[in-house]
Structure 1
Amino acid sequence: MSSESDTRANYIDLALKAASWHPSNIIREHYFTDGRKLAGGARGRRCFVDYLLHKDNRYLAVVEAKKESEHPTKGLQQAIDYAKKLLVRFVYSSNGKQTYEFDLETGKGAYIEFYPTPQELEQRYAGITSSLGQQLRNVPFHLEGSMQPRYYQELAVHAATDAIGQGKPRVLLTLATGTGKTFIAFQIVHKLYQARWNKENPGTRRPRILFLADRNILADQAINTFNPYEKDIIKINGEEVKKRGDIVPTNAHIFFAIYQAIAERENIEGYYKAYPSDFFDLVMIDECHRGSANEEGSWREILNHFGSAVHIGLTATPKRDANVDTYEYFGKPAFEYALKDGINDGFLTPYRVKRVRTNLDELILTKDDKIIEGESEQSVYQVADYDKKIIVDERTELVAKTILENINPLDKTIIFCENQNHALTMRDMINKHKKISDPLYCVRVTSDEGKIGRELLERYQDNDKDIPAILTSSQMLTTGVDARNVRNVVLDRTINSMVEFKQIVGRGTRVFDGKNYFTIIDFRGASNKFYDKDWDGEPEPLEPKGTTEPTPQPYSPEPGTNNGGDGEPATGATKPKLKVKLGKHRELKVIDVEIRDIDENGIPLTIQAFVDKLMGQLPGLFKSVEELRHIWSDPDEREVLLGKLVQAGFDKEQLATLRRMFEAEDSDVFDLLAYLAFEQPMATRKARANHVRSNNAFFGQFQQDKAQQFLHFVLNRFEQTGSTELSRERLPALIELSGLGTVKDASIAFGGKPAYLLAAFKQLQQQLYHVS
């Protein structure tokens, strides 16, 4: 019987050769994603194409091979989906006897007799790339060791250089946090540098490039990425200018600066004005949503001064509102890669949401509550009022205790607080209730911490160090901080901005070995933004500006600071916040911790949607309760089924969540699945174990007391824990825990052979699940 391999060898390879396709222009069996991260280190299905045809550093076509006996377009739709990801226009699907061509641009397809030649196919892409753009494409990526760009990074770099080649003055690249925007920026600069591109006369000299950020930590991280060009790099700041006798540096090709360091300040003229307006050929703006498009802000003054340069904006979250319209300034993104794509492709880590509600989410003050400072101006305080209008340290203590109860002690965690003082109190409360004695277990990292805070952050980012394990902050860590092993992102601040919410979620998405997901622990309902239409899509266009629109206010990257601070008021007298000590008879408690998983679009599933998703998967895994019993009673087949459930998106923790949901904590997972799939009544583990204990005929076949005692021990473990105790891998540990000795010792009790021991272990499970 023919296979896809036969189709490739006997038909497609020959047909491509006849169309003058050289092996160097064909990538066979091309995997271009890692597969979504699943529980237990497993991965979902990787995106794969049978053939990827390319020429002159451009992907031209995808070819899908089918068995000779199958319809030639059976796999067409999936091939089209993959072609869209790779920005490929043409898809071919063939069973060898017939070949179908589909054009994604026109949406039409037809059967063809011969494949087009590389030249013919390339000609169909004519006009997309200019001669300069093609020259930039042909400059190889700068790669060290076995490093290879991910497919979307390669596409993003080419999209930017194509835009430059076409003479576009403004270019926007939108990629989710953690997908390597700085790596992309470096490769763009590398190509321009090697091609000796410049605005005046490309090819005559190397470009002068300004990389502009709004925080030192972002600029420094970028400088590290640009290390291969170390000799051509300089950072513009007051220290460097002072060192040069108050003259700005010009003897470099790649300049880094934070805008605050070169902008105009009170009584100090901006350093940027010391540069001729045409000095830079290219300005790269990192996190450009933060203010580059603001008509009133310092960013815009700098960009206007260097207006003749090409401006490339890098952001995870384009901003669109009355003050900052990234799209209006840069235009439509030249390339986009969303968070949900990164998670589904396996390049970013998925997340789960724990929504925590307390009995203080709505607070009515009583006569027993003591006002320490300020005045009460309302009768009811909501969760959004805490640490803005009212300070209640007892609530912060309850939140801190709940955080510690919901994380592993050494899991790296960031707690986002309302402001810097709140971050201090949170740190103190964590330290009050922590079980780890190290004094740096939990630290505050905000702008007020200065150099000490930056050093602690560097230690936190070192994945070889466990301490600090927990950081408290407010705004300083919302963007750009590369800490790959963050396992928990805690929200105890009100988040009104979708941009800020996306940035905060992005703190946990970076991939790290052994990190299958991270958890968002939400105390303020901020995770409701996942259900907003703007969560992972392009913002709707703004309404045209009318005469009644308020005057835009000057942009400040962080309220009240000029160095990336944390939301504290600026200067001047302010009314003291209400501070309250709650009455001693008040009961403080967590009402509910609701765990929600996410779907393929990154939206947390409601309880009903979660159940519906599982029930939709079950019919494909077993057809009847008898089949489920048979599978579940065999430890090997059960592990295979559990693996399939993981692939479908349901791991052991999620199944445990479902058991709590259906009040089935005392039942086995088997009973839960049988109930959901076939509405079978659920038995408790205790009832199942007792039923086996009363089966004298079963135990009577084992002559030695030690054998019977061991089987009773296994039943006890099952009753306490469930079917996890019944896996083949657990058998040696169960033997040791029972006091029977080694596997060899246990085998003697069961007749002298390990096979007899294993057979008895399986028989016990058949009895538990009533399989004859």
Structure 2
Amino acid sequence: MTKNISESDTRANFIDPKLSESEWDPVHIVREYYFTDGRKLLGDKRGKRLFLDYLLKYNNTNLAIVEAKKLSDHPTKGLQQALDYAEKLRINFVYATNGKKIYEFDRRTGKGDYIKDFPTPQDLYHRLFGSKNKLKEQLHNIPFLLTGNFKPRYYQEIAVNKTMESIADGNKRILLTLATGTGKTFISFQIVHKLLQAKWNIESENRRPRILFLADRNVLADQAINTFNPYENDVIKIDGEEVRKRNGVVPTNAFIFFAIYQAIAEREDIGGYYQEYPKDFFDLVVIDECHRGSANEEGSWRAILDHFSSAVHLGLTATPKRDDNVDTYKYFGQPIYEYSLKEGIQDGFLTPYKVKRVKTNIDEYIHTNDSKVIQGEVTKDRYEINDFNRSITVKQRTELVAKTILAQIGKMDKTIVFCSNQDHALDLRDYINQYKTVSDINYCVRVTSDEGKHGRELLEAFQDNDKDIPVILTSSKMLTTGVDARNVRNIVLTSPIGSMVEFKQIIGRGTRVFDGKDFFTIIDFVGATNLFYDAEWDGEPEDPKDEGGGKDPQPPRKPKVKEPGEPYERKEKLIVELSNGRQLKVTDVDTRYIDENGKPLTVREFLEKLIGELPAIYKDEEQLREIWSNPDTRSDLLEKLGELGFDNEQLNDLRNMIATPECDIFDVLSHISFSSDLMTRKQGVKFVKDDVQFFDVYENLKAKDFLEFILKHYEEHGIEELQRDKLGDLVKLKLGTSKDAKTAFGDMKTLLGAYYKLQKNKYRAV
């Protein structure tokens, strides 16, 4: 009898009552809790979403997972999957049940056993956190401040709760590592909200805390201020303008203070504004993009952090631990929570990407007397790709790169081009505007610190998803961090990147999710994407080399602070003009596809993956011919291929690898599936034309000419010209009007039949 009881009936009649008996009220239970969106696939589709049968919550904290099976199943049948989900969600208690037996697994001990009843919410909470830490319970009890139907993502909840628990445990240095585009500012806001509501402060007084939010760029600070809008009456920005308005006195009448470190740090002959605050003024200092304070980066928080050393310091970074980020981790310690780019893409919260590695015939320069030196002097015989636009500029190469960018992107696809420096960004902008086909003056603009307010306005317009213009931004370092532009379709690398930290930040500019954006493309002219093959690209972070030998952690070293908007130092570069006889060209565009584990695939690896998928779509060559020979069923097949992740561009790359662009995609599919011979479109057209009987059916000479015209058009332009919706265009091109078409074929039905028969004849077996 129990075999006929379904899982849903088991939940309703057996599991739910047991939870209720243990005081789990409806407010504590989330049924079928979906916690990922599913990896983004082509065609605006999604992969499988992960979900739990039951999520048990108490005091705004996720406490346990319940994996349900039907009454006749073994109670622990789904335990392993539940444990995997618990690891992802950082939940310690996992229960597996078939309604009759309950199995409890505690991930902290790695052990499990059968229990009679579910524990109560209070018992489970106290088992996890203890009964003595009242502050932890108070901070958990404050719900997120949300607007509309917005719900936090699971990793955002984890990050906030882990931070609350760390503060309640008395930790003074806290680090969160979350991939770019995952909402670090939203997480910061919820942390600040909870602390303000709880009136937490380092002195345990009955007052709201004072919090300093530090960024290294105005655009980041301003974006953060917008996020904190619900607390707008409690927010103030510390900068020169605000201090001047107060007759030289720093503002103190707020709870949330925003600043860029350049505006409050010491500069030559100018004292830092931060020194005018008492050392114990702030209770919490939040340092956005804190990795930029590491030894080899341009930003440093050292003097400011030293001054406010009694405060809790919360560092936010997108970069896992590695040698070039060592100071950050020495200062803050191990991250209390990490969420990687790979996880974000797998969960569907970030957009996947593909890579186009572009090579030209001037990726190195050897000077000869044929070339003209415009500026500077030749200091070595051979200049490599790392030298371009730094120590040497070859104008024609910059021009070639600009033309190639336009050829590789969609005309209105929002694109960020990362350049070597501000002058290089100007040169590329000018060449792109020279060859663009869109007349708007702001189609391509430079956004760097030199542009000041006007540049920030252009950046805001670029970020506005309701505006088409600007389409292309050229920049150097300004846009590497924190700029939230969700509809970026292309990231173009025209300057070598030596730091994995910087590389991850740049790639993050394209990962934000936007409707209709299935992936973004990284177009690489300098080989920077070789960093994807670095073992530390997105794997488990390793401890950096210990250089401290047990010493107390020190804040990052302090480089010279640069004035906001100060022009960078320009050294005279070698500028050469090539001889007129030198023909520059792109020699190769190597496309790499990213698999579900974040690993770049060569086209050959991609082919092997494709071969494994194809048998599920058609069983033999005859069925493939039948499908392909009809424009309607062919369109359905191409759509199915797209759902599997193989769009037209990928199929064309596949064709170019194993055959030539003159081959039909049908022949490529048939070749890799059934080892059939490859045939060019020209050979296929000849095969049809040699069938005299097919053409003799149509007595009107114009009808025969039209069918031959279709074949010629197909031979030159490919299978896209044989789509059903192309017939009208072909009639206009060759016959003129629909009346002319009726004259040639008798009626439109005969014309349509001829169009379909022509294709059936084209794809019949040889």
Is the counterpart of residue 476 in structure 1 residue 495 in structure 2? no
Note the 1:121-200 alignment, pairs <5 A: 121-127=124-130, 130-200=133-203
Is the counterpart of residue 676 in structure 1 residue 672 in structure 2? yes
Aligned to 1:609: 605
Structure 2 distance, partners of 1:128, 1:587, is 77
Note the 1:748-759 alignment, pairs <5 A: none
Please tell me the residue identity of whatever aligns with 2:581. Answer: H
1:80-115 CA-to-partner distances (Å, cap 9, x unmatched) read 333322222344455667765554444455666655
**How much does 1:763 deviate?**
7.2
Aligned to 1:28: 31
Secondary structure of the residue that 1:597 maps to in structure 2? strand
Is the counterpart of residue 583 in structure 1 residue 585 in structure 2? no
Aligned pair partner of 2:590 in 588, 594, 611: 594
Aligned to 2:357: 355
Aligned pair partner of 2:312 in 310, 313, 316: 310
Scaled by the length of structure 2, the TM-score of the pair is 0.88
Structure 2 distance, partners of 1:735, 1:102, is 70
Structure 1 distance, partners of 2:297, 2:689, is 79
Secondary structure of the residue that 2:204 maps to in structure 1? coil
Structure 1 distance, partners of 2:721, 2:11, is 47
Aligned to 1:221: 223
Task: Structure 1 unaligned segments of length 5 or more: list them.
Answer: none
Note the 1:3-152 alignment, pairs <5 A: 4-9=7-12, 11-66=14-69, 75-93=78-96, 101-108=104-111, 115-127=118-130, 130-152=133-155
Aligned to 1:656: 652
Structure 2 distance, partners of 1:19, 1:629, is 63
Secondary structure of the residue that 1:186 maps to in structure 2? helix
**How much does 1:231 deviate?**
0.7
Distance verdict in 2 for CA 1:443–1:323, change over 3 Å: same
**How much does 1:190 deviate?**
0.8
Structure 2 distance, partners of 1:729, 1:7, is 53
Note the 1:364-383 alignment, pairs <5 A: 364-383=366-385
Aligned to 2:273: 271
Structure 2 distance, partners of 1:260, 1:700, is 82
Residues 238 and 250 of structure 2 are in contact (CA less than 8 Å); yes or no, is this contact kept in structure 1? yes
Structure 1 distance, partners of 2:299, 2:518, is 41
**How much does 1:539 deviate?**
4.0
Structure 1 distance, partners of 2:360, 2:245, is 56
Secondary structure of the residue that 2:400 maps to in structure 1? helix
Structure 2 distance, partners of 1:37, 1:401, is 30
Please tell me the residue identity of whatever aligns with 1:405. Answer: A
Aligned to 1:329: 331
Aligned-residue CA RMSD (Å):
3.8
1:281-331 CA-to-partner distances (Å, cap 9, x unmatched) read 111111111117899985111111111111111111256547852111111
Please tell me the residue identity of whatever aligns with 2:144. Answer: F
Secondary structure of the residue that 1:272 maps to in structure 2? helix
Note the 1:404-415 alignment, pairs <5 A: 404-415=406-417
Distance verdict in 2 for CA 1:625–1:294, change over 3 Å: closer
Task: Structure 2 unaligned segments of length 5 or more: list them.
Answer: none
Residues 296 and 554 of structure 1 are in contact (CA less than 8 Å); yes or no, is this contact kept in structure 2? no
**How much does 1:365 deviate?**
1.0
Please tell me the residue identity of whatever aligns with 1:599. Answer: D
**How much does 1:630 deviate?**
5.4
Structure 1 distance, partners of 2:675, 2:487, is 42
Secondary structure of the residue that 1:325 maps to in structure 2? helix
Distance verdict in 2 for CA 1:370–1:301, change over 3 Å: same
Structure 2 distance, partners of 1:296, 1:669, is 51
Residues 664 and 672 of structure 1 are in contact (CA less than 8 Å); yes or no, is this contact kept in structure 2? no
Aligned to 2:244: 242
Distance verdict in 2 for CA 1:626–1:389, change over 3 Å: same
1:735-764 CA-to-partner distances (Å, cap 9, x unmatched) read 99897999xx99xx9999x9x999998777
Scaled by the length of structure 1, the TM-score of the pair is 0.87
Q: Number of paired residues?
A: 757
**How much does 1:687 deviate?**
4.9
Residues 292 and 300 of structure 2 are in contact (CA less than 8 Å); yes or no, is this contact kept in structure 1? no
Note the 1:348-497 alignment, pairs <5 A: 348-497=350-499
**How much does 1:413 deviate?**
1.5
Structure 1 distance, partners of 2:608, 2:703, is 44
Please tell me the residue identity of whatever aligns with 1:131. Answer: K
Please tell me the residue identity of whatever aligns with 1:422. Answer: H
Residues 479 and 504 of structure 1 are in contact (CA less than 8 Å); yes or no, is this contact kept in structure 2? yes
Is the counterpart of residue 338 in structure 1 residue 340 in structure 2? yes
Distance verdict in 2 for CA 1:52–1:716, change over 3 Å: farther
**How much does 1:259 deviate?**
0.9
Structure 2 distance, partners of 1:509, 1:295, is 23
Aligned to 1:201: 204
Please tell me the residue identity of whatever aligns with 2:84. Answer: D
**How much does 1:720 deviate?**
5.7
**How much does 1:136 deviate?**
1.4
* Higher mean C-alpha deviation, range 26-35 or range 495-504: 26-35
1:587-644 CA-to-partner distances (Å, cap 9, x unmatched) read 2111111111112233321233222222233344445444544555666765555444
Please tell me the residue identity of whatever aligns with 2:598. Answer: G
**How much does 1:647 deviate?**
3.8
Aligned to 1:569: 569
Residues 296 and 324 of structure 2 are in contact (CA less than 8 Å); yes or no, is this contact kept in structure 1? no
Distance verdict in 2 for CA 1:357–1:65, change over 3 Å: same
**How much does 1:666 deviate?**
3.3
Secondary structure of the residue that 1:563 maps to in structure 2? coil
**How much does 1:362 deviate?**
1.6
Note the 1:544-559 alignment, pairs <5 A: 544-545=546-547, 554-556=557-559
* Higher mean C-alpha deviation, range 253-262 or range 23-32: 23-32
Aligned to 1:283: 285
Structure 2 distance, partners of 1:715, 1:345, is 46
Secondary structure of the residue that 2:357 maps to in structure 1? strand
Residues 355 and 522 of structure 2 are in contact (CA less than 8 Å); yes or no, is this contact kept in structure 1? yes
Structure 2 distance, partners of 1:323, 1:200, is 32
Distance verdict in 2 for CA 1:689–1:324, change over 3 Å: same
* Higher mean C-alpha deviation, range 33-42 or range 638-647: 638-647
Please tell me the residue identity of whatever aligns with 1:146. Answer: N
Secondary structure of the residue that 1:173 maps to in structure 2? strand
Residues 374 and 578 of structure 1 are in contact (CA less than 8 Å); yes or no, is this contact kept in structure 2? yes
* Higher mean C-alpha deviation, range 455-464 or range 169-178: 455-464
**How much does 1:358 deviate?**
0.8
